[in-house]
Structures are given as C-alpha cells and as structure tokens.
Structure 1
Amino acid sequence: MTTIANNLQQVLGRMAQACTAASRDPASVLLLAVSKTFGADAVTEAVAAGQRDFGENYIQEGVDKIIALRAAEPAVALQWHCIGPIQSNKTRLVAEHFDWVHTVDRLKIAERLSAQRPEHLAPLQICVQVNIDGGATKSGVAPADTLELVRAVAKLPRLVVRGIMSIPDHAPEFEAQRALHAGAKALFDQIAALQEPSLEHFDTLSLGMTADLEAAIHAGSTMVRVGTGIFGGRAYPAA
C-alpha cells in the first residue's frame, strides 16, 4: 500500500471514529482530498486508492491536473472542487473545469460563474464562504449578510446553491475548535430551516481540515477538506 493510500485509510478511520462519537452515520460526511502543490501523480495514487473528490486552491494548477487526470483516467468520474479565492479574471477557468466552488463571497463572482458555465455541463455546485468568526484578513461574507447572498446566488441560472463553507481561526483544543464550527452549523441550520424552493439542494456544510476534522464532524460538518493528512507536508516556493 502506498503512503497516500495508507494516509487515506487513516483519515477515513479518524472520520469514522468521530462520526461514531457524535452518533452520526459515517456516510454523512464526505472526504475532500486537497491536492494543492502536489502533482497529478499524487492525485492518481489517491484515485487508485478509491478517492473521488479533490479540492484545489490554485486555479490554474487545478485546471492542469483536471485535464491530466481526465486523459489518464477517462473511465473514472472525479469531482473537482475549487476551494481557493477566485479573482474575476479566473472565473471562466473555474466555470469551464470545476464541478464545485466553495468560495463564493461576492455576487459579482457568482454572476460571472453563472454566465460562463458551459451549457453542456451540469450546473456548478456552490457553497457560499462565510467569515464566521470575523477575522479581519479572511475571505467570506459576514454571517449577517449570508442569507441575502445565498438567495441572490440561488436565482442565477447554471448554479445550484448547496450550502456554506467556513475556515475559522485555528484553535488548539477540541472544545474551542468545536465552538468555532458550531457558529457555522447554527447559520447553516437557520438557512436550511427556511425550506425555500430555490434552496431545495441546500445540504452541505464544508467545515474542517486535517487538524480539526473531529471537532468539525462533532459540530455537524458534511464535508471535510484534508490535504496534509493525505498527501503530507507541503513545500511552498519562496516569495
């Protein structure tokens, strides 16, 4: 078994244990393998180990891997999630290649994604990014403005609003982590409880990474985004 395959099994085991402790069905939480800075060969190893959902922070790097994997694994249906910031000049790449976007925090970006989504592709699945703890340097719409943005995005053609995503500040202990994630879960529940027709597919709470996936699952996450725990530590190029 390769290192990546072994790491995947360990992460899935952590997720299953967290679900059991939280009295949740392990099938209710999806693992998103975050492959930023790792090449297509690493993704291919994860695919061979059974992983099918991948998250990319850097758009051009992600597109290159999407194209490479489609050529190398044409019979395997993968889902590609854009989980990094999107500038206006990158929306076409995202709309043409990705299946999901987790980082919509402005209507302008959503409008461009909708207009540029090719007709032959399924609608783009959208999570609105929320700055749940108010970090001054972080992306995301304020919690008080989230419902307004969700409703506006839901009106756009070629997009389907699936839920919300958040990246709260790091907390060293489980209870502090869970408390941060609980704010996003409360907001998610408030919106889902409205049962508005345009939000019939509102079912996704994208929370948790390698260090805090247990706390996120306890709080109610339906999708955890794990990179280091699967692919190992990253080496970033010098600025």
Structure 2
Amino acid sequence: MNNALRDQIKKNINAIQDRVSLYADKYDHPRPLLLAVSKKQSIEKIHYAHMAGLNEFAESYLQEALEKIRALPEIQCWHFIGQLQSNKLKDIATHFNWVHTLTNTKHAKKLNEYAALHDKVINICIQVNIDKDENKGGIAPDGDALQHLALFVLQHCPALKLRGVMCILEKNESYAHQYQSFCSLNKLKGLVEEACHYKLDTLSMGMSQDLEAAIAAGSSVLRVGSAIFGKRI
C-alpha cells in the first residue's frame, strides 16, 4: 500500500468536501453529490478514494472503465459520462448505473433494450450543449429537441429512469459566465418538467474549476476529477 498516496487522496477529498459544504451553506442550497471522475486515473487511486468514503465514480472511456469495474467489485455505482457510441451501448447498459450523456432517441431505444435484458433500470441525464460550444456534445438549448427526447424516454423506455440534465461548459474562467450558463440549464430543467408533467431531481453540472458557480446555481451532482486524484495518467 502506498500510504503517502492514500493520505494525499484522502486530504484532497476532505478539502473538496469542505469547499462544497462552504458553498452550499453560502448559497443556501443542499449539498450536492461529489461524483469522482476517475477517467485516466489508476485503479490504485480509485481504491484509495473509495477507502476515503467516496462511493460513486464516473468514467468516459468504455474499455478503460471495464478494467476498473472488474478490478474494483466493491464499488457498486458507476456513471458513464463520455460520448455515447452505438457499438458500445450494450456494455454500457450492462455495467453502468447512470448515463449522463444521452442526446438522441436512437441511443435511448438501444439502452432501454439492453437494460431490459438485464432486468435493470439505468438512471439517465440528457446532455445539453448549454453554451452552444462546437467542441462540446449535447442537445441545443433552444428548440423542442430536449423536450422531445425527454418525452420519448418517459413514454417508450421503461428500463430508463429520466433523472435530469447535464452540461459541460465552454472554457471560461469568469464566475459570472459560469453562473449564467448553469442557471440557464436549471431553467431548462424546469421547462422540461412543465412540458412533461414530470419532476426531475438531477442537475449534473460543475467540475473542479467551476464548483462555486455550479453550487450557487443549484447543482445536485458535481463531477470532480483532478481536485481529487491529481494529474491523469
């Protein structure tokens, strides 16, 4: 066991949790889930993070994730946060509890079919390209595409549980910009709820560099990687 590495990761987690609690109190919001983004991190680091009390981990690359899932059976909840590809949906449905990056009905239909084969229900977030950044994935924040996809999941995909919406911001260090974008996603969540007559409970938004703005805007899931694990492999 690498005691120094174990202790550093625990220290990092405690520091992040202190920041999250501080911001949640400051803006009078419930404390969001700290989701550990473990892509490009070693199995050893993930093990130490789990030892330190984290129970939910997120991966973006399927083959890398499968190795970790098999090596760490003690971790029961895995989130997929990478771009979906049709040829990988079967394995994603088999091994993951959450998918944050749904963007179309074709993938929803396939995920539903594969999840049903395993008699499981997958938690789903729809990814929204809130800043209209050509380098980011997700449904456009204007128009009816978001509501259409949400209704499709609710009406035709019983093995998928629609939980909320997700975004990744364009690179911008301005707190005001970050806060405005996150508030826009929160507003879209409300519009989907109104259109679908269905309550959503998840705003998957905020990473290491924009924690405060995300919490201020009502995030319920923070996706944090480098602040927990340090540099990627």
> TM-score by structure 1 length?
0.90
Shift of 1:140: 0.4
Aligned to 2:24: 19
Tell whether the 8 Å contact from 1:207 to 1:223 is kept in structure 2 after alignment.
yes
Shift of 1:120: 4.2
Tell whether the 8 Å contact from 2:101 to 2:126 is kept in structure 1 after alignment.
yes
1:56 to 47, 55, 59: 59
CA distance in 2 between counterparts of 1:222 and 1:19 reads: 10
Aligned to 1:38: 41
Q: Comparing 130-139 with 186-195, which one deviates more in the overlay?
A: 186-195
Shift of 1:194: 4.6
User: SS at the partner of 1:102?
Assistant: strand
Shift of 1:222: 0.5
CA distance in 1 between counterparts of 2:94 and 2:121 reads: 11
Aligned to 1:191: 192
Aligned to 1:182: 183
User: SS at the partner of 2:82?
Assistant: coil
Aligned to 1:82: 80
CA distance in 1 between counterparts of 2:121 and 2:212 reads: 31
Aligned to 2:106: 108
CA distance in 1 between counterparts of 2:67 and 2:207 reads: 24
The gaps in structure 1 that reach 5 residues or longer are none
Shift of 1:174: 1.5
User: SS at the partner of 1:2?
Assistant: helix
Shift of 1:179: 1.0
Change (3 A) 1:58 1:173: same
Tell whether the 8 Å contact from 1:85 to 1:103 is kept in structure 2 after alignment.
yes
Moved over 6 A (4+): none
Tell whether the 8 Å contact from 1:96 to 1:118 is kept in structure 2 after alignment.
no
Aligned to 1:209: 207
Tell whether the 8 Å contact from 2:104 to 2:149 is kept in structure 1 after alignment.
yes
User: SS at the partner of 2:20?
Assistant: helix
Shift of 1:78: 2.5
Aligned to 2:3: none
Which deviations, in whole Å up to 9, do the C-alpha atoms of 1:177-197 show, x marking residues without a partner?
11111110110122234562x
CA distance in 2 between counterparts of 1:226 and 1:67 reads: 22
Shift of 1:152: 0.8
CA distance in 2 between counterparts of 1:121 and 1:52 reads: 23
User: SS at the partner of 2:41?
Assistant: coil
CA distance in 2 between counterparts of 1:227 and 1:136 reads: 23
CA distance in 1 between counterparts of 2:218 and 2:179 reads: 9
Q: Which amino acid aligns with 2:180?
A: A
1:47 aligns with 2:46: no
Aligned to 2:154: 154
User: SS at the partner of 1:212?
Assistant: helix
CA distance in 1 between counterparts of 2:45 and 2:84 reads: 24
Aligned to 1:65: 68
Counting aligned pairs with the same residue, the percent is 38
Tell whether the 8 Å contact from 1:192 to 1:203 is kept in structure 2 after alignment.
no
> TM-score by structure 2 length?
0.92
Q: Which amino acid aligns with 1:231?
A: F
Which deviations, in whole Å up to 9, do the C-alpha atoms of 1:180-239 show, x marking residues without a partner?
11110110122234562xx35x2100000000011001011100000000000224xxxx
Tell whether the 8 Å contact from 2:124 to 2:161 is kept in structure 1 after alignment.
yes
Tell whether the 8 Å contact from 2:147 to 2:195 is kept in structure 1 after alignment.
no
Q: Which amino acid aligns with 2:65?
A: G
Tell whether the 8 Å contact from 1:91 to 1:112 is kept in structure 2 after alignment.
yes
Residue-pair matches, total: 225
Shift of 1:118: 4.8
Which deviations, in whole Å up to 9, do the C-alpha atoms of 1:18-65 show, x marking residues without a partner?
101111232xx1110000011221111011000001010111111211
Tell whether the 8 Å contact from 2:150 to 2:196 is kept in structure 1 after alignment.
no
Q: Which amino acid aligns with 2:140?
A: A
